Amino acid sequence: MCGIVGYIGRREAAPLLLEGLQRLEYRGYDSAGLAIHARNPGLKSAKAAGRVRDLESRLPKRFSGTTGIAHTRWATHGAPDDANAHPHLDATGRVAVVHNGIIDNASDLRARLAADGVTLASDTDTEVLAHLIGRSTAETLEARVREALGHIEGTYGIAVLHAGFPDRIVAARNGSPVVLGIGEHEMFVASDVAALVAHTRQVVTLDDGEMATLTADDYRTCTTEGSRTAPAPETVEWAAESYDLGGHDTYMHKEISEQADAVDRVLRGRIDDRFATVHLGGLNMDAREARGVRRVKILGCGSAYHAGLIGAQLVEELARIPADAEPASEFRYRNAVVDPDTLYVAVSQSGETYDTLAAVQELKRKGARVLGVVNVVGSAIARETDGGVYVHAGPEVCVVSTKCFTNTAVAFALLALHLGRIRDLSVSDGRRIIAGLRRLPEQIAEILRGEEEIRRLAAEYAEARSMMFVGRVRGYPVALEASLKLKEVSYVHAEAYPASELKHGPLALIEPALPTVAVLPDDDLLEKNRATLEEIKARGGPILAVGHERQEKADHTLVVPRNEPELDPVLLGVPLQLLAYHTALTLGRDIDKPRNLAKSVTVE
C-alpha cells in the first residue's frame, strides 16, 4: 500500500525519484522520503510528512547523486510523521531501507535490538530491517540483506542502499510487489510499473522469495537462499501517457470518462459470432473440464468483491451453475471446504491484493483450480492462478475503482457466456447477450453525456449526513458498490441493503433527512421495487431512483438505457460513480487520494 522507486545509472537520481514518487502517490500519501549515495562517500536522506510536494519543498539545493531509493507511505506502524517516514537508516547512517509490507515479529526484534543498546528512532517495523542489515558482517551487501531477511517474519518488498557498496541497489520481495525496469546504462526498481514507464517498458517482476542486485549496466536475480534465477523481461503494454490527467481535473473523472473505450477493449477480439460465444484462451481450460465444474466461488475485496457478486449472478443465469461471491479477507480465515469440482475465481484490480493472493495460495495448496480476473498483466495473482481473464481497463490511478469495476463486471459476463454456451445456453440467447455486450460502449457514452444532471443532483444531496442505497437481486451489488464509492470519496456515511430487507429493520432509519438511492432495473421485480419506494415515501424519505424509466414515487430519477436484463447492472452503476464524484467535488474532498485509503492493499 506504499510506493517504492529506486534508480541507479548516470543521471541525477533525485529528480527521477521525485517523479516516480508522484506517479506512485496513489499507493500512499501520508509521508515521503528519499536517500541517495552522495558524491562524497556516504548517504544523504530527506523525508517529510504529507505529500510528495512537501518532500520536494524540503530538499536542499545540493542533493546530488546518481543512485538512490525513495518511498511514499501509507501508515501501518506509527503515526504519519517525519520520524516514521521512509527511508529508515541504521545506527551508523550507512544503510537505508524502503519497505512495503508488514514485519509480523517487529515487536520482538525491536526489543532484542533495544536490549543490545540500539536506539530506535521511529515507531515503524521497517527500521529493524535497517539495523539488522547494518549489524551484519557478511562480505557482500546481498549476503547482509539475506542474513537480515532470515530474521524477518511477514511480508516485504524492499530496496536497500549501503554506503560501503555505492555501485548497487539490492531489492527483495515476499508478498509485496517489486518490479525492475531495464534501461540503457541505467536500472530502476519500483513497486508499480507506473513509476517506470516514462523511462522504460522492459520490466522484470520478482517472485516471492526472490532478490535482485541492480548496477548501472546490469541486474541479476536469485532466491533469498542464494540460488540463481533467470526471469525473462516483459514489455509493459501501458505507455507513460496513460498515467497523465489528459485534460481532466482528477484521475477519477478521467477514468469514469474512459469507460466506453475500456469496455470496448475488454470485448475486442473475444467475440465468436459463428458459435454465439466468446474466446477466452487464457482460461487454460478445455470444454470437457468446463463441463465438469459443479460450482463457482468468486473471491475479492472491496469493489472486486462487488463485481464478483455481479459475476456470480451472471454465471448462475447464463451457465446455470451454482455460484456465489465472498470477501477473500473472510474466506482465507475460515476453514472452508475446498471442493475439487468447484471453480474458484480470484478478482483483483492490481493483481496484488494481499488478502486475495493469500486465499489463492491456500486454495492452490489444497489442490483447487483457481482462475484470476485481474487488470495488471504479470501481477502476482495472474502468475499464481491456473489461468484467467485480463480486464484490459488500462491504468487506474485514482484510489477508488471505477473503470476497472465496470470492466471486471463485463469480463464476468464473458466468462458466464463462455461457460453457458459450453453447457445449455442456446445459440439465440448467446446472440442476444453478444448483441447486448456490443451495445454497452455507446450506452455508457450516452450516460456520461448526462453528467450535468448528475452534478446538479449531487449538489442537492451533498448536505445529507447519511444515505441509504437499496437494490434487489441484480440491483443489490450495484447498490453496494455505489454506497462504497460515496463513502470512499466523499466521506458521507452510506449503507446498502437488499430492498427486500428494508422492512426487516433498516426502515427504522427512514426519515426526511435520510435520502435513499434505489436501483431499479426493468426486470420482473420492478413492481416489488416500486412497492419499496412506496414504503420509503410513506415515511417522508427523499428518493433518487436509478432505472430505465421515470419513477412516479421518486423525487428524482436518473434514466439509463436498457440493455439485456443480465447486463443492466453494468450500466446502472455508471451514473452512481458520477454521483459520488460530484458529491465529493461539492464537499471539497481530495478526490484522487481519499483519507486513510491506498490503491493497492498489499498488507492485511
For cell 520478482, name the residue.
Answer: 206
H-helix or E-strand containing 143? helix 141-149
Contact call for residues 131 and 141 (beta carbons, < 8 A): no
φ, ψ (nearest 5 deg) of residue 200: -160, 150
Write the DSSP string, 479-519: HHHHHHHHHHHH--EEEEEEGGGGGGTGGGG-STTS-EEEE
In sequence order, the 6+-apart residues with CB closer than 8 A to the CB of 460 are none
Could you tell me which residues are beta bridge partners of residue 327? 300
> Edge-to-edge, what's the strand order for the sheet holding 295-300?
323-327, 295-300, 342-348, 369-374, 387-390
Which of 162, 176, 42 lies closest to 99, judged by CA?
Answer: 176
Which of 185, 220, 203, 187 lies closest to 68, judged by CA?
Answer: 187
Contact call for residues 315 and 486 (beta carbons, < 8 A): no
Contact call for residues 153 and 105 (beta carbons, < 8 A): yes
Asked if 301 is an active-site residue, the reply is: no
H-helix or E-strand containing 405? helix 403-422
Of 44, 403, 593, 599, the catalytic one is: 599
Of 2, 222, 301, 398, the catalytic one is: 2
Burial 445-472 (b: 16+ CB within 10 A, else e): eebbeebeebbebbebbbebeebbbbbb
Burial 150-167 (b: 16+ CB within 10 A, else e): eebebbbbbbbbbeebbe
H-helix or E-strand containing 389? strand 387-390
Asked if 2 is an active-site residue, the reply is: yes
Q: Which active-site residues does the annotation give?
A: 2, 599
